[in-house]
Structure formats: structure tokens, C-alpha cells
């Protein structure tokens, strides 16, 4: 089984390369001149996109093919007081440059919209904002010229005292979304509310690919082991929505999220690095029937955690782990 590792947004190695510089609405209003404030937002966004390109080049130099963009590329892009602003006109070239680099090097990229993007909400204003945020993420991917192989990963959301009703709301709202949004969504289990089994059930109903977060599954489960769910999770990547408008001739490789608990007293928070043992145990158990999988590292150490994990993987050469390059391995069952 081929395993490619990626990381989230920020680099701990490349200095002064944040793709998430921002501005608060308070600071925006203090500038007084609205047009000048908007131009400043656009300059910050251009810097974020420039740094994103720097990080992609860093990734290529280290064989990292899997990467999650920062959702904060454009500050205040979905704020209610800036509805009339279209930042994509000023940022067209910057987005195109990022997209061209991604396509030119066959990278797998994604977004993970913020936690306030919840389709299960009972509040209409939260739903409106959630859909607006999903639309914004789709616009960014389209501005990069990326087809639906580039996904927006989300959670079902809160239970609001009635989990079956919340799941039903998610399903109804999802089916009411535009096809452009639908075909770019993947669904992930969370660490407190919708566990992997429940998320899988919803993903099956609406035809979404499911991303399993192993850490979340460890702390929120019904007694099942993660590898017991894996065969059915893989099937969700073979559905129509998973492959809609794809650039690939073959089905998308299934995707995992991985992190390790910060401590025995804080199991849900993420540690700086990833403990290789539990991850490798899972990967070995699925290796005999999974040709390839992409693994997003959500550790606090970002790309440094990826490099540390690759060092750890190198110690298992006698146990069926073969290093392929700087960010991928082959694992025997």
C-alpha cells in the first residue's frame, strides 16, 4: 500500500510565510476610507497567496504532494458588511498562479472550512452564513482553476439535543446545495458528537466521500476499531459525487486525518508530533486491500511533524515499511 503524507496550511520550517495574515473588522473600520481599507485587504490576500505558493514550492522540494490550504487566504471575505466586495478581480492572477503550480505538479489540495460552517444548525442565520462560506471556498478553488478533485472537508455539526434530527437537517440542507458545492464536499467524523459510524451512515445516504479522522475515532466511538469501518468508508470514495467533474481517470485515493493526543489527561487536543506506532498499526491492518491512501497530518508541528514521522517510519524497514521519498512510504500487511 502506498501512503502519502501531507500537512495543514502553516510551515514550521519556512520562515515568514504565513498564508493566514488577517485584519479584523474593527481595524478595517478604523481606517476610515473604505476603498483604501479594501485595497489593504487585497494586499494582505495577495501576500497570503504568495506565501501559499512559497509553501507549495517547499512541499515539492520535500516530495509532499498532499496539502491543505488555509481558509483565511482572503481576510473578511465572507463578512456581512462586505457583501458587495468582490476580491477575486484583484486576486485573479495570484489565484491562477497557485492553481497552475498545483496542477503542474499533480498535488492533492483541499480546504477545511471553519467550525462555524455547520449545515445541521437549527438557526437560519447560521445556515445562511454556512452556505456563504462554502460558496466562498468553492470560488477560491475555481479561481485556482482546480476541478472537483480539490475538496472542502466539513463535519456534520452539532446535535443540538437531538442527534437524529440534526443528522436529518444536514442531509436535507446538503441535498439543497448547488451541485458545485455538493461535488466538492467530503465528510469527517468529529471527536465529540457524530462518531465515525454515524458519519458513515450520513455519508452513505447523501453520497459523500468520508474522511476518517483516526484520532477522533479513538476518543469518540461505539466500541468498534477504526479498521473495522474502513472497508465501508473506502466504498464512499467510489460514488458519483466523489468522482464528479474529476481530472483523474481513476477514483480518488481515500483520505485519512491523523494526530495524537496531547497527553493522557487531554486526549482530544493535538500533540506537536504524531505517534507512529498506533498509526502504523492501523495502516498495516488495511494494507492488504487498500492500494493507496493519503494521510493528512493535523499535528501542531505541521510540516515538522511530517518530517519527524518520516524519520520514525524509517526505523521500521525490517517490519515491512519502505521509504519511497521524503513524504511517502510503502507498507506491507
Cβ contacts of 219 within 8 Å, gap of 6 or more: 191, 261, 267, 268
Q: What is the pLDDT of residues 14-58, one digit of tens each?
A: 999 999 999 999 999 999 899 999 999 999 999 999 999 999 999
Cell triple for 80: 456581512
Cβ count within 10 A of residue 24: 11
Report whether 91 contacts 46 (CB < 8 A). yes
SS3 content of the chain, % helix, strand, coil (to 5): 45, 15, 40
Q: Is the pLDDT of residue 248 over 80?
A: no
Q: Which three cell numbers stand for residue 280?
A: 502504523
Confidence band, pLDDT 50/70/90 cuts, at residue 240: low
Phi, psi torsion values for 169, nearest 5 degrees:
-65, -45
DSSP 118-145: -TT-S-HHHHHHHHHHHHHHHHHHHHTT
The distance between the two most distant Cα atoms of the chain, rounded to a whole number of Å, is: 65
Question: What SS3 class is residue 67?
Answer: strand
What is the per-residue pLDDT across 184-224, written as a single tens digit (0 to 9) for each?
Answer: 999 999 999 999 999 999 999 999 999 999 999 999 999 99
Whether 312 contacts 280, CB under 8 Å: no
Instruction: Read off the pLDDT band of 333 (50, 70, 90).
Output: confident
Q: Is 17:49 a contact under the CB 8 Å cutoff?
A: no
The 10s digit of each residue's pLDDT in 98-142 is 999 999 999 999 999 998 999 999 999 999 999 999 999 999 999
Q: Are strands 255-258 and 261-263 parallel, antiparallel or unpaired?
A: unpaired
Give the three-state DSSP class for 162. coil
- H or E segment and range at residue 240: helix 240-243
Question: What does the mean pLDDT of the chain come to?
Answer: 95
Q: List pLDDT tens digits, range 62-102.
A: 999 999 999 999 999 999 999 999 999 999 999 999 999 99
Joined grid coordinates for residue 76: 473578511
CA torsion through residues 198, 258, 290, 107, sign: positive
Read off the pLDDT band of 13 (50, 70, 90). Answer: very high
For 155, 171, 211, the CA distances from 200, given in Å and listed in that order, are 11, 12, 9
Amino acid at each position: 500500500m502506498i501512503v502519502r503524507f501531507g500537512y495543514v496550511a502553516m510551515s514550521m520550517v519556512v520562515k515568514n510565510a504565513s498564508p493566514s495574515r488577517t485584519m479584523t473588522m474593527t481595524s478595517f473600520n478604523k481606517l476610515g476610507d473604505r476603498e483604501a481599507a479594501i485595497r489593504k485587504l487585497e494586499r494582505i490576500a495577495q501576500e497570503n497567496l504568495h506565501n501559499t505558493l512559497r509553501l507549495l514550492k517547499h512541499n515539492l522540494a520535500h516530495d509532499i504532494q498532499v496539502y491543505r490550504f488555509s481558509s483565511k487566504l482572503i481576510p473578511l471575505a465572507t463578512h456581512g458588511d462586505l457583501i458587495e466586495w468582490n476580491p477575486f478581480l484583484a486576486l485573479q492572477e495570484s489565484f491562477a498562479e497557485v492553481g497552475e503550480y498545483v496542477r503542474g505538479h499533480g498535488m492533492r489540495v483541499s480546504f477545511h472550512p471553519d467550525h462555524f460552517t455547520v449545515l445541521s444548525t437549527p438557526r437560519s442565520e447560521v445556515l445562511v452564513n454556512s452556505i456563504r462560506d462554502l460558496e466562498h471556498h468553492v470560488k477560491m478553488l475555481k479561481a485556482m482553476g482546480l476541478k472537483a478533485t480539490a475538496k472542502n472537508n466539513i463535519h456534520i455539526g452539532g446535535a443540538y439535543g437531538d442527534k437524529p434530527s440534526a443528522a436529518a437537517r444536514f442531509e436535507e440542507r446538503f441535498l439543497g446545495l448547488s451541485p458545485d458545492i455538493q461535488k466538492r464536499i467530503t465528510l469527517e467524523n468529529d471527536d465529540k458528537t457524530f462518531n465515525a459510524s454515524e458519519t458513515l451512515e450520513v455519508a452513505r445516504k447523501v453520497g459523500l466521500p468520508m474522511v476518517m479522522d483516526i484520532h477522533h475515532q479513538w476518543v469518540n466511538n461505539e466500541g468498534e476499531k477504526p479498521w473495522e469501518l474502513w472497508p465501508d468508508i473506502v466504498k464512499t470514495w467510489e460514488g458519483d459525487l466523489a468522482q464528479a467533474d474529476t481530472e483523474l481517470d481513476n477514483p480518488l485515493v481515500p483520505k485519512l486525518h491523523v494526530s495524537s493526543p496531547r497527553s493522557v489527561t487531554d486526549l482530544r487536543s493535538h500533540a506537536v508530533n504524531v505517534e507512529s506506532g498506533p498509526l502504523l498499526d492501523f495502516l498495516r491492518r488495511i494494507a492488504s486491500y487498500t492500494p493507496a491512501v493519503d494521510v493528512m497530518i493535523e499535528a501542531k508541528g505541521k510540516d515538522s511533524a511530517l518530517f519527524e514521522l518520516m524519520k520514525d517510519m524509517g526505523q521500521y524497514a525490517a517490519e515491512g515499511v519502505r521509504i519511497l521519498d521524503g513524504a511517502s512510504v510503502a507498507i506491507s500487511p
